[in-house]
């Protein structure tokens, strides 16, 4: 299949469905809550509760590992059960975790709160993504996932700004901010019940666990994503790098908001571009931006560079996060789509955990080495993805324009192993 877009005199792209908008609103409010807390957590754990930085690493590592394990299991459940109850339970458990965090008086309770929150995140992710995939076709799937990531990340802009504003109003007291975060989290749970779930092919099935239904082209993409995940360490280390270069709490939050603003603004155009051009090319461009950003974080000697690097890093996330989900959904059979998305999420999460461990051990005095290693490896992966066209050609399933919008409920037939 050619990477060049097919052209026809008239091309009508399917509109996004009601479910896509509802799920995006749910994610917006949940991310507003989560990202209100995210920049606060390091200061709360080490400053207010007096825990050492190693404890913060332990908390986040266990939380991310828990979410990764849950994603694989929930992806399988999403193929066999109704998906909306899984999504509602996941968001409800996350809201409970945020309430527990507000009650925390010592770091072990913070660990319990983060564990609870991440169980919810792991449970809801794959079935939520499967709902979006079921309501789209390859002609508008990238756009739908891009819109969802834009809405989700808009919450990541609003949340920290709320936190920063309230931080000044309450004279630097973190505790009221933790309770405020519970409000949008609860609101997100109530909105889940507006989703109208469609029957899917595996509903009610008693099939044994099997990965045989996932084609080789899927595993080629997953392998590349897994390799990249091993050098993509948690964003908390980027914030730590900003702190090392001289930024205080307000400066770190401002940089984080700038990153999320770039991510939110570029997500929808990136998804639209992957529908019209190629998921492979857009994803490779995202890896290129990651390499530039990480090499910049490693080489930067003055704090001013971070105002350039954080938006570049936001561009990387916009060009890869939603695109990878749309790509995986394209490659998976309809009755194995939840499993495919769950494996993708789990592998990304496990890689993030491993990357966080080795980056922390290699951090040293200023954190330069991990950034330089990750940036170099990712640049190589980007070149491979762009140049090894034959290897990934059958995985590049960008649809050809037909001039007629396919039904969003249609189950598309599987593409042969070598469609080119």
Element (H, E) at 230: none
276-335 pLDDT, tens digit each: 888 999 999 999 999 999 999 999 989 999 999 999 999 999 999 999 999 999 998 888
- Mapped onto helix, strand or coil, the DSSP state of residue 417 is coil
Residue 204 lies in a domain: no
- pLDDT value, residue 7: 38
**6 in a structural domain:** no
Task: Report the pLDDT value the prediction gives residue 8, as an integer from 0 to 100.
Answer: 39
Average pLDDT for 117-131: 91
Residue 1 is assigned to a structural domain of this protein? no
pLDDT (mean) for 415-419: 37
Q: What mean pLDDT comes out for the span 115-119? A: 89
Query: Cα(first)–Cα(last) distance of the chain, in Å?
Result: 4
Instruction: Using the predicted structure, report yes or no on whether residue 403 has a pLDDT greater than 50.
Output: no
Question: b or e along 383-417 (b: 16 or more beta carbons within 10 Å of the residue's beta carbon)?
Answer: eebbeeeeebbbbbbbbebeeeeeebeeeeeebee
pLDDT at site 195: 92
Q: Got the DSSP string for 360-386?
A: HHT-TTTSHHHHHHHHHHHHHHHHHHH
Q: Which two tokens stand for residue 391?
A: 């290897």
Q: How many domains does the chain have?
A: 1
Summarised one tens digit per residue, pLDDT across range 180-236 is 999 999 999 999 999 988 777 666 556 655 667 788 889 999 999 999 999 998 887
- Provide the pLDDT for residue 310: 96
- The answer to the question of residue 408 being in a domain is no
Kindly indicate the confidence band of residue 395, based on its pLDDT and cuts at 50, 70 and 90. low
Greater confidence (188 vs 2) lies with 188
Q: Is 348 exposed, middle or buried (0-12, 13-18, 19+ CB in 10 A)?
A: buried
What does the mean pLDDT of the chain come to?
83
Give the CATH number of the domain where residue 321 resides: 1.20.1250.20
Q: Is residue 10 part of a domain?
A: no
User: 138-197: per-residue pLDDT in tens?
Assistant: 889 999 999 999 999 999 899 988 888 888 787 777 888 889 999 999 999 999 999 988
Higher pLDDT, 383 or 171: 383
392 pLDDT band, cuts 50/70/90, is confident
Cα–Cα dist 362/275, whole Å: 39
Identify the domain containing residue 301 by its residue range.
18-196+214-393
Please give the DSSP secondary-structure letter assigned to residue 334: G
- From CA 274, how far away is CA 136, in angstroms rounded? 14
User: How does residue 404 score in pLDDT terms, banded at 50, 70 and 90?
Assistant: very low
Q: Which whole-number Å values give the CA distances from 191 to 28, 131, 181, in the listed order? A: 11, 15, 16
pLDDT tens track for 49-96: 887 766 776 777 677 777 777 888 888 888 888 889 999 999 999 999
Q: What's residue 399's pLDDT?
A: 46
Residue 180 lies in a domain: yes
List for the chain the helix, strand, coil content (%; round to 5). 75, 0, 25
Rounded Cα–Cα distance for residues 215 and 95 (Å): 37
* Model confidence pLDDT, tens digit, residues 340-372: 999 998 898 888 888 888 887 888 777 789 999
Residue 374, phi then psi, degrees to nearest 5: -65, -45
The pair phi, psi for residue 165, each rounded to 5°, is -65, -45
pLDDT of residue 394: 55
Per the listing, tokens 């630097």 go with 172
185 and 31 in contact (C-beta within 8 Å)? no
* pLDDT, position 406: 43
pLDDT of the residue at 163 = 85
Rounded to the nearest 10 degrees, what angle do helices 216-229 and 306-331 cross at? 160
Residue 407 is assigned to a structural domain of this protein: no
Count other C-beta atoms under 10 Å from residue 167's C-beta: 21
Nearest to 185 by CA among 284, 108, 102: 102
Q: Which DSSP symbol is given to 45?
A: I
| 383: in domain | yes
Q: By mean pLDDT, which of 103-107, 245-249, 305-309, 391-395 is the weakest?
A: 391-395
Round to whole Å and give the CA distance between 355 and 57. 12
């Amino acid at each position: 299949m050619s990477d060049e877009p097919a052209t026809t005199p008239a091309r009508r792209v399917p509109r996004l469905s009601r479910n896509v908008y509802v799920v995006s609103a749910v994610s917006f409010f949940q991310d507003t809550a989560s990202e209100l807390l995210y920049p606060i957590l390091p200061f709360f754990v080490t400053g207010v509760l007096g825990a050492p930085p190693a404890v913060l690493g332990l908390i986040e590592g266990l939380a991310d590992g828990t979410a990764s394990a849950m994603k694989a299991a929930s992806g399988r459940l999403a193929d066999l059960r109704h998906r909306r109850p899984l999504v509602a339970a996941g968001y409800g458990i996350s809201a409970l975790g945020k309430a527990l965090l507000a009650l925390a008086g010592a770091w072990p309770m913070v660990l319990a709160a983060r564990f609870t929150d991440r169980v919810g995140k792991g449970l809801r992710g794959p079935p939520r993504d499967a709902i979006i995939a079921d309501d789209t076709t390859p002609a508008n799937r990238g756009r739908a996932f891009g819109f969802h990531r834009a809405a989700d990340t808009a919450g990541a802009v609003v949340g920290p700004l709320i936190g920063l504003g309230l931080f000044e109003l309450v004279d630097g007291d973190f505790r009221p901010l933790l309770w405020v975060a519970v409000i949008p989290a609860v609101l997100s749970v109530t909105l889940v019940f507006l989703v109208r779930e469609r029957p899917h092919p595996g509903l009610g099935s008693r099939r044994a666990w099997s990965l045989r239904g996932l084609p080789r082209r899927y595993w080629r993409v997953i392998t590349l994503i897994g390799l990249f995940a091993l050098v993509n360490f948690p964003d908390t280390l980027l914030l730590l790098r900003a702190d090392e270069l001289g930024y205080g709490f307000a400066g770190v939050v401002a940089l984080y908001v700038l990153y999320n603003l770039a991510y939110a603004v570029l997500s929808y155009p990136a998804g639209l571009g992957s529908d019209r051009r190629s998921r492979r090319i857009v994803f490779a461009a995202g890896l290129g931006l990651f390499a530039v950003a990480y090499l910049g974080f490693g080489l930067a000697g003055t704090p001013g560079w971070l105002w350039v690097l954080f938006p570049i890093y936001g561009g990387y996330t916009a060009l890869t996060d939603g695109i990878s989900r749309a790509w995986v959904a394209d490659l998976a059979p309809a009755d194995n789509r939840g499993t495919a998305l769950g494996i993708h999420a789990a592998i990304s999460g496990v890689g993030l955990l491993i990357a966080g461990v080795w980056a922390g051990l290699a951090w040293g005095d200023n954190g330069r080495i991990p950034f330089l290693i990750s940036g170099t490896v990712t640049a190589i992966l980007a070149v491979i993805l762009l140049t090894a066209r034959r290897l990934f050609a059958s995985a590049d399933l960008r649809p050809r324009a037909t001039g007629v919008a396919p039904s969003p409920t249609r189950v598309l037939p599987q593409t042969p192993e070598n469609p080119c």
